[in-house]
Structure 1
Amino acid sequence: MRDRLLSEYSNFFREKLNHCELFTITVSFKCSYGSKGVTNACLDTYDFNILRKIRKQLWRNYKKNLDTIPYEYFRYHEYDEKSIFKRDSMNTPNHIHGILPIDKKYMGNFWNYELKRVNTRIVKDIKSLRYVSSLLIEPMRSDELSNWINYCLKKKNMENI
């Protein structure tokens, strides 16, 4: 079932490549403990604050900017998940990994092609949020799509996906 889900997600996002650019996004939060309430607060901050700030930079008209990110809910919260690659596995903050598809029409407002990074205004707006500790947004190479999806879904209970 897991392999089928990975395949379905990969195909879904590959279809989006015709009119979207895909980015990986990782946001870590300042909360140092895990609970159901903290998980919900992190997801709400991502869904309602972070994505709203990105949409606002892509298209200022609130009623029309909902279409600037065609599929925004591929995001997964993690806390206290150890990595064998980290030296200090004790520090595992609340964080969210996700895929952020941006409509190609709005790429000039999102990505600075000269500096090869997200526009500084977006980063500044997101980092101004009270509970956001760090932010990383990078372009996704199409050959890494399946690997990133697999990484986001690692150790997740299939009922929660």
Structure 2
Amino acid sequence: MISAPASTLAPNVAPNVASNVAFTFAAIAAMLVAAPVLAADAKTAFVSRCGMCHQAGGEGLAGQFPKLAGRAAAIAQAPAGRRYMALVVLGGMAGRIEVEGAALNGVMPGMASLTDAEIAEVLSHVVTLGKPAKAAKPFKAAEIAAVRAGGKATMGDNKELRSQLIAEGVIK
């Protein structure tokens, strides 16, 4: 756990940015030591692994982490969107993105240490958050395994894929 004041972590950075950096490191540390995912309780797994940043209901955190509620199911309607979601969980993503007209600048670490079944359970929960216009089918471990077998994607690769999917209308 980070015990130094945020200003000492990044002394040449504005206080609010230093606080965001400290929060991000604390959030990543919490995710990395979270309990293993239990297939029977995907909601608890989501909250323990993802809730610090995306919030328990998937509403996101302004300026840093995107809203998932109501959006993830729409992305998961297309095979390319489902692949993208799996790649982001496996490899993470960092940098500036825009979601629903709001700029966000955060870091999501990859969670490739999770099993395919664990990732499928968490993503299956994610697509139920909020009030999706159309329900998405649950993710399967075999689907995640196929994405994993396709090769490792970096945070930069995932950000580039996101831009491509926006241009194609898969991500709105």
- Normalising by structure 2, report the TM-score: 0.28
Larger RCO (CA under 8 A, 6+ residues apart): 1
TM-score (norm 1): 0.30
